[in-house]
Amino acid sequence: MATAEFGLAVRRWRDQIPPDPARPVAGGVRRAPGLRREELALLAGISVDYVTRLEQGRASNPSPQVVEALARALRLSPDERAHLHQLAGLALPEPGAVPTTIPLAVQRMLDRLVGIPVAVFDASWTLLQANPACVALLGDPESWQGNERNRIWRHFVAPGGVGRYAPQDLAALELALVSDLRATRLRYPADQRLARLVDELRGHSSEFAALWDSGVFAAFDTTVKTIAHPKVGDITLDCAVLTVAGSDLRIMIDTAEAGSPDADRLALLLEPTA
């Protein structure tokens, strides 16, 4: 469980990071050194409120993904990263585990995809980061814990929040997801968290188990999905999955055709509220 020292450490490191002049944050004259909470929240892909509660010691049990995101945003050294995990009551990932680090070059690219829903997953399809546009479209993942943060788990075991697909697109997507996870399991045989995820998926979803046992491998293609959003209604989007060599990340990007009603609904959804 995270302690008060965790929040103090985050605040201390935040004060030591020089702000990026290319990414000004509204709010007038900067009165404090380092990053503002808003800037740290944006870099880490979490809400400002959650950063505030962590720093004030009012939030406990941050997930490993949140701690990794903070360590990345704060540009911590390996020793500092280990210390932050310790303060959160978490163990560092074991050697041979699925990597969860987003390289700075990739993060800078992600930061510039403003207005486009983007989610970043590790190779097991566990969510690492969702940008503000993705949160507005699909909901805030801040409270998700454990398998709830896994895209494949949410598709096969806890359906309802992943959109609607045409039957042929749905079948291709499911096969690609399971194939990708099977390939990941082969690359990281020592990752016990990944092994548990696969066992639990097999135990909770006969559909997943059948696809897993088929041994078929398939690649991702662009799919079309429809999100039933309570604010703006149905939004139909093209969903593409990009992979990042080296860091073994999966980047999911949702876009609408320019000038289409879906693009208008997406823009309406992303308008700031008064």
81 and 109 inside one domain: no
144 and 57 inside one domain: no
Percent of the chain with pLDDT over 70: 91
60 and 114 inside one domain: no
37 and 122 inside one domain: no
pLDDT digits (tens, 9 = 90+) for 143-160: 788 898 999 999 999 866
Q: Which residue has the higher pLDDT, 19 or 246?
A: 246
**Does 156 fall in a domain?**
yes
Residue 32's pLDDT is what?
Answer: 62
Backbone angles phi, psi at 150, to 5 degrees: -95, 125
Residue 104's pLDDT is what?
Answer: 76
**Does 248 fall in a domain?**
yes
38 and 126 inside one domain: no
Domain boundary among 34, 53, 87: 87
CATH of the domain at 241: 3.30.450.180
Cα→Cα distances 1→41, 90, 262, 270, Å:
21, 8, 43, 35
**Confidence tier at 92 by pLDDT (50, 70, 90):** confident
Domain with 219 in it = 104-270
Report how many domains make up the chain: 2
70/13 Cα distance (integer angstroms): 10
83 and 118 inside one domain: no
pLDDT digits (tens, 9 = 90+) for 249-267: 999 999 999 999 999 999 9
**Confidence tier at 78 by pLDDT (50, 70, 90):** confident
Q: Helices in the chain by DSSP H: which ranges?
A: 4-16, 37-44, 48-55, 64-73, 78-87, 104-111, 132-138, 151-156, 167-187, 192-204, 206-214, 261-270
257 and 143 inside one domain: yes
228 and 162 inside one domain: yes
**Does 154 fall in a domain?**
yes
Residue 229: exposure state from Cβ atoms within 10 A (0-12, 13-18, ≥19): middle
**Confidence tier at 112 by pLDDT (50, 70, 90):** confident
> What's the mean pLDDT in 59-69?
81
**Does 142 fall in a domain?**
yes
**Does 95 fall in a domain?**
no
Residue 72's pLDDT is what?
Answer: 82
Domain boundary among 22, 54, 87: 87
115 and 235 inside one domain: yes
74 has a pLDDT exceeding 50: yes
> What's the mean pLDDT in 210-219?
92
For 79-95, letters b (16+ CB in 10 Å) and e give: eebebbbebbebeebee
23 and 74 inside one domain: yes
CATH of the domain at 26: 1.10.260.40
pTM for the predicted model, two decimal places: 0.72
234 and 112 inside one domain: yes
DSSP secondary structure letter of residue 134? H
Residue 28's pLDDT is what?
Answer: 52
pLDDT digits (tens, 9 = 90+) for 232-243: 999 999 999 999
**Does 93 fall in a domain?**
no
Domain boundary among 20, 54, 87: 87
Q: Taking all residues of the chain, what is their mean pLDDT, rounded to a whole number?
A: 86
Residue 273's pLDDT is what?
Answer: 63
Residue 26's pLDDT is what?
Answer: 45
**Does 180 fall in a domain?**
yes
Backbone angles phi, psi at 254, to 5 degrees: -110, 130
Residue 270's pLDDT is what?
Answer: 85
